[in-house]
């Protein structure tokens, strides 16, 4: 199977690409450095799309929507220009339920794919991931687990700002 993976060089993307390749799939990797024409070609030739690209710490708030919503819009528009309807797996976030720029942009990306399914005969699966951690997590960037482990390994203290706060994780 030919699978296009957006965000292929990101934390989750690297793991997904590795798993797909070990399974024997042909993987087309898409990252920030991919040219638009190559991105379009990958989407149009894929048997399935795993859409992991996302903005979680942009310099400007508008970048949330540009990446988390607009990439989904672009892919669906390209697919609508053909009769191809490959399934799309979309990496969303539990924060899609929260009214902030990140949460709204993730929910808007979900809505684009829901329309792709409801109005255009597409297939999509949306995963609302909680806080993800695992091999390759970066301390002080994408998970508190990596930060805590980093600090403990160096004999540094960890600070918990709200001990009543519960956080859900997935490995």
Looking at the annotation, which residues are catalytic? 102
Q: Check: CB of residue 52 under 8 Å from CB of residue 28.
A: no
How many whole angstroms separate alpha carbon 125 and alpha carbon 88? Answer: 6
* Cα end-to-end distance, the chain, whole Å: 26
Q: What would the two tokens of residue 71 be?
A: 């990439």
Give the CA distances from residue 121 to residues 21, 69, 79, 90, 162, in Å, rounded to whole numbers and listed in that order: 28, 20, 11, 16, 45
How many whole angstroms separate alpha carbon 52 and alpha carbon 91? Answer: 5
How many whole angstroms separate alpha carbon 155 and alpha carbon 121? Answer: 55
């Amino acid at each position: 199977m030919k699978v296009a993976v957006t965000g292929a060089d990101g934390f989750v993307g690297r793991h997904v690409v590795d798993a797909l390749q070990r399974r024997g799939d042909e993987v087309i990797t898409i990252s920030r450095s991919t040219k638009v024409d190559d991105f379009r070609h990958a989407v149009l030739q894929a048997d399935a799309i795993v859409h992991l690209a996302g903005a979680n710490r942009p310099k400007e708030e508008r970048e949330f929507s540009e990446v988390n919503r607009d990439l989904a819009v672009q892919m669906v528009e390209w697919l609508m220009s053909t009769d191809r309807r490959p399934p799309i797996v979309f990496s969303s976030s539990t924060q899609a339920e929260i009214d902030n720029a990140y949460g709204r942009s993730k929910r808007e990306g979900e809505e684009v794919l829901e329309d792709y399914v409801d109005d255009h005969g597409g297939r999509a699966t949306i995963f609302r991931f909680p806080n993800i951690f695992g091999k390759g997590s970066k301390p002080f960037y994408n998970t508190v687990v990596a930060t805590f482990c980093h600090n403990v390994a160096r004999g540094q203290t960890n600070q918990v700002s709200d001990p009543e706060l519960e956080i859900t994780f997935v490995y």
